[in-house]
């Protein structure tokens, strides 16, 4: 499927675990519309190796995201009960105890499919039986959704490749800088650096942000 950038983020309602241990039904990103930006990220499976490093890394930076009026929400194809069990396990034992942002349970795999992160496809064999070509879990997808529900950034990594949480913060800063100043962000831009503004003759020039 094509990119979701510039399009409305696919809506869903699903079970989730919030606040580190509360299972809720019908969790939706729609609750943030008009209120907050959202970093929505997918990871492959509970009780694995790279995944807890990412979930803890997002938790460590959660206050930084919140300071930017940005909610962090995770999702995998595991059940909410699996999420809950993992959340009760100490970090030293491979668990994610201490993670407080919502973790969505995409048990139907439709959320992963609609966001283009599902690793695998369904097919039919010669006997008419439904088969899966792939493990049917989520790649490491990450989406920045603005307050109007529009996807402004997406990144999808293969299973072995963990993400950089500081880069996720940087891309939030870049979007908010553009929205505030009307200036675009050049390569390797970080908060506090100069932006760029296109002149009427089409030549971009640097302008101080201070």
The catalytic site residues sit at: 51
Burial grade of 108 (CB within 10 A; 0-12, 13-18, 19 or more) = exposed
Of the candidates 139, 127, 88, 81, the one whose C-alpha atom is nearest the C-alpha of residue 107 is: 81
Structure tokens at 120: 């695998």
DSSP states of 111-157: HHHHTT-EEEEEEE-TTS-EEEEEEEEE-EEEEEE-TTSBEEEEEEE
């Amino acid at each position: 499927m094509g990119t979701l950038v510039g399009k409305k983020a696919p809506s869903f309602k699903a079970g989730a675990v919030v606040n580190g241990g509360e299972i809720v039904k019908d969790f939706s990103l729609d609750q943030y519309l008009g209120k907050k930006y959202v970093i929505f990220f997918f990871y492959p499976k509970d009780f694995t190796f790279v995944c807890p490093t990412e979930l803890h890394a997002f938790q460590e930076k959660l206050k930084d995201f919140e300071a930017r009026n940005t909610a962090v929400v995770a999702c995998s194809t595991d059940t909410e009960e699996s999420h809950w069990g993992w959340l009760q396990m100490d970090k030293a034992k491979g668990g994610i105890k201490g993670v407080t942002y919502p973790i969505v349970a995409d048990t139907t795999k439709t959320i992963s499919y609609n966001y283009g992160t599902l690793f695998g496809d369904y097919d039919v064999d010669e006997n008419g039986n439904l088969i899966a070509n792939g493990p049917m879990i989520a790649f490491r997808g990450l989406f920045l959704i603005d307050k109007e529900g529009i996807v402004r950034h997406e990144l999808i990594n293969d299973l072995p490749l963990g993400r950089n949480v500081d880069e996720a913060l940087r891309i939030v800063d870049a979007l908010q800088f553009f929205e505030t100043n009307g200036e675009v962000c050049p390569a390797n831009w970080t908060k506090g650096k100069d932006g760029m503004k296109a002149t009427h003759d089409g030549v971009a020039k640097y302008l101080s942000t201070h």
